[in-house]
Amino acid sequence: PESFLSVRDLRVRFSTEDGIVKAVDGLSFDVERGRTLGIVGESGSGKSVTNLTVLGLHDRKNTTVEGEIVLDGKELVTATEKELEKLRGNKVAMIFQDPLTALSPYYTVGRQIAEPFMKHTGASRKEGRARAIEMLTKVGIPQPKTRVDDYPHQFSGGMRQRVMIAMALVCDPDLLIADEPTTALDVTVQAQILDLLKDLQQEFGSAIVFITHDLGVISDMADDLLVMYAGRAVERGSAAEVLRSPRHPYTWGLLSSMPRLGGSIDQALTPIPGSPPSLLNPPSGCPFHPRCTFTGEVTGDRCGTERPSLGEGRSAACHLTAEQKQTFFIDKIQPR
Ligand code: SF4
Ligand code: MG
């Protein structure tokens, strides 16, 4: 299958007063057309930085980017700002956690939805307005013909998120990057927005990169899954496989710390001990080793000295043997 977005050995470093932050450290992944890749990790794992870099939205002054980002055959790491601008909002669009950062308070939502459409297609104002109404209808805004002239503050949080989705999809992008799009919303609205995204993906056929810290959301949305830790991918596979039988202690920890639907209330949740490492001075060897409860099972000091690598396809970057993983966690995860 042809991958629409292909990222190879991506390294993103920021220079700060305190030193160099290795925000992304050798990351590779692919996204196919019409499929959803979930990227999961705690904050600071590099998941948002990766996607800002794909869009060329990172701070160019203090950032070094190495590796390859190929979108629809075009190399983006070396692309000019002008070339990137042509892609953004057109071939690739993004939705964020907070619509207010993406929407201007000073213009009507209709104008803001129409703008990228007019810019990329050369449509007239009248056509732009008609398209905005069409998009508001698609994302389920009631009375779109009236609401098209309203300003963002006149919408509720969930409705604003719908407006942002309308704006992102107005040019029929091939790739939609959604960074924690439902995190700020209450559970009911969150479920509605996720359903909407799934329906729209059916209709538009776009590839989606769905970034979240929430494994519950990902199980609902993603076909494939990439688990990130300390700027690296530690596990990948189909979402169903990874969630059913994780192979990396970090993924296992995330799943064990998650409340289970229908689980009893006093069911003990086990949070992962410690906190994510500083990327100014990442741990040697396996970046997870200071927090990992399984290091003792690995022969010698490999976890502290030798960086485990992630293979292609279904794999985990961990020194444990397949049998050890089987004994330690596969049997402990209940079917979800
Ligand atoms: Fe834990 Fe070692 Fe595996 Fe890293 S390589 S996840 S420290 S067992
Ligand atoms: Mg983030």
Sheet architecture: strand order including 315-316: 92-95, 175-179, 207-212, 36-40, 224-229, 232-238, 315-316
Determine which residue's CA is closest to atom 7 belonging to ligand 1: 289
CB neighbours (10 Å) of residue 238?
14
d(CA 33, CA 31): 7
Distances (CA, A) of 217 to 97, 99, 220, 232, 274: 14, 19, 5, 21, 24
Q: Ligand 2 centroid to 52 CA: how many Å?
A: 10
Encoding tokens for residue 7?
Answer: 């990222």
Burial 164-175 (b: 16+ CB within 10 A, else e): bbbbbbbbebbb
ipTM score for this prediction: 0.94
pLDDT values of the chain reduced to their tens digit, one per residue, 336 residues: 578 899 999 999 989 899 999 999 999 999 988 899 999 988 778 888 888 888 887 777 888 999 999 998 899 888 888 988 888 878 898 888 777 778 999 999 999 999 999 999 999 999 999 999 999 999 999 999 999 999 999 999 889 989 999 999 999 898 999 988 888 778 888 888 888 888 888 888 889 999 988 888 888 889 999 999 999 999 999 999 999 889 999 998 888 877 654 455 445 567 788 888 989 989 999 999 999 989 988 888 999 999 999 988 899 999 999 888 877 776 555 544
Q: Ligand 1 centroid to 217 CA: how many Å?
A: 26
Q: Ligand 1 centroid to 220 CA: how many Å?
A: 28
Q: What is the pTM of this model?
A: 0.89
Q: Ligand 2 centroid to 173 CA: how many Å?
A: 22
CA of 234, closest atom in ligand 1:
6
- Using most ligand atoms within 8 A of CB, pick from 320, 321, 326, 327 the residue to mutate for ligand 1: 320
Sheet architecture: strand order including 19-32: 19-32, 3-16, 63-71, 74-75
Q: Ligand 1 centroid to 245 CA: how many Å?
A: 16
CB within 6 Å of ligand 1 — which residues? 248-249, 286, 288-289, 292, 294-295, 298, 303, 308, 318-320
Ligand with smallest separation from the Cα of 328: 1
